[in-house]
Amino acid sequence: MAGTKIFINKFSRPLVSEIFRNYETMCDISNHIKLFSTHNVNEIFLRDTENNILLRKHTNNVPVIKTLLQKLGKCPNDIEIQRQIEIELLKLPNSTHSRVVNYGEKGHEVYNNNLAPGTGEQFSDVCKYLNVLRMEHLGQFAGHKSYYLMGDLASLEQSLVRYTMSYLRKEEFKLISVPDILPSNIINGCGMQTEGNRNQIYKIDSEECLSGTSEMALAGFFTDQVIEEQCLPLKIAAVSRCYRAETSGLNEEKGIYRVHQFTKVEMFAVCSEKQSEMVLESFKDTEMCLYKQLNLKFRVLDMPPNELGASAFQKYDIEAWLPGRQMWGEISSCSNCTDYQAKRLNIKYKTKDGILKYTHTVNGTAAAIPRLLIALIESNKIENGTVYLPEELRNILNNSLLTRNKVVPSLKLIKHF
Average pLDDT over residues 292-321: 98
CA 349 to chain centre: 23
**Residue-level pLDDT at 198:** 64
Residue whose C-alpha is closest to residue 294's, from 132, 403, 174, 156: 156
**Residue-level pLDDT at 321:** 97
Whether the CB-CB separation of 298 and 318 falls below 8 Å is answered with: yes
Distance of CA 327 to CAs 241, 252, 262, Å? 26, 8, 21
Whether the CB-CB separation of 255 and 148 falls below 8 Å is answered with: no
CA dist., res. 28 & res. 65, Å (int):
20
Average pLDDT over residues 184-207: 86
**Residue-level pLDDT at 412:** 66
Q: Write the CB contacts of 386 (distance below 8 Å, at least 6 apart in sequence).
A: 401, 402, 403
Burial class (CB in 10 A: 0-12, 13-18, 19+), 35: middle
**Residue-level pLDDT at 28:** 34
Q: What angle do CA 299, 105, 374 make, to 5 degrees?
A: 35
CA dist., res. 231 & res. 164, Å (int):
24
Nearest 10 degrees: Cα torsion 96, 100, 105, 108 = -140
Check whether 257 has a pLDDT greater than 70: yes
Average pLDDT over residues 32-59: 75
Q: Give the pTM.
A: 0.87
Check whether 157 has a pLDDT greater than 70: yes
**Residue-level pLDDT at 40:** 58
Select the more confidently predicted residue: 11 or 302: 302
Q: How do beta strands 133-134 and 327-336 pair?
A: unpaired
Select the more confidently predicted residue: 381 or 379: 379
Residue whose C-alpha is closest to residue 86's, from 47, 35, 23: 35
Query: How many residues can be counted in the chain?
Result: 417
Q: Per-residue confidence at 43, pLDDT binned at 50, 70, 90? A: confident
CA dist., res. 264 & res. 391, Å (int):
22
Q: Looking at residue 381, what DSSP letter applies?
A: B
Three-state DSSP class for 184? helix
Extended beta strands in 198-233, E state: 208-210, 226-228
Whether the CB-CB separation of 6 and 18 falls below 8 Å is answered with: yes
Please, what is the average pLDDT of the chain? Answer: 86
**Residue-level pLDDT at 26:** 28
Three-state DSSP class for 165? helix
Residue whose C-alpha is closest to residue 405's, from 134, 198, 175, 37: 134
Three-state DSSP class for 383? helix
Whether the CB-CB separation of 266 and 365 falls below 8 Å is answered with: yes
Of 17-26, 155-164, 200-209, 399-408, the one with minimum mean pLDDT is: 17-26
b/e burial code for range 103-116 (CB count within 10 A of at least 16 → b): beeebeeeeeebee
CA dist., res. 295 & res. 168, Å (int):
18
**Residue-level pLDDT at 88:** 87
Three-state DSSP class for 263? strand
- Domain 98-402 sits in CATH 3.30.930.10: yes
**Residue-level pLDDT at 20:** 24
Check whether 410 has a pLDDT greater than 80: no
In degrees and rounded to multiples of 5, residue 229 shows phi and psi of -60, -35
CA dist., res. 333 & res. 340, Å (int):
18
CA dist., res. 154 & res. 170, Å (int):
25
CA dist., res. 339 & res. 360, Å (int):
4
CA dist., res. 347 & res. 226, Å (int):
6
In degrees and rounded to multiples of 5, residue 227 shows phi and psi of -115, 140
Burial class (CB in 10 A: 0-12, 13-18, 19+), 84: middle
Select the more confidently predicted residue: 84 or 7: 84
Would you kindly state where each structural domain of the chain is located, as residue ranges? Answer: 26-91, 98-402
Helix (H) / strand (E) element for 304: namely none
Q: What is the CA radius of gyration of the chain?
A: 23
Q: Looking at residue 67, what DSSP letter applies?
A: H
Three-state DSSP class for 190? coil
Of 117-121, 251-255, 386-390, the one with minimum mean pLDDT is: 251-255
Q: Per-residue confidence at 17, pLDDT binned at 50, 70, 90? A: very low
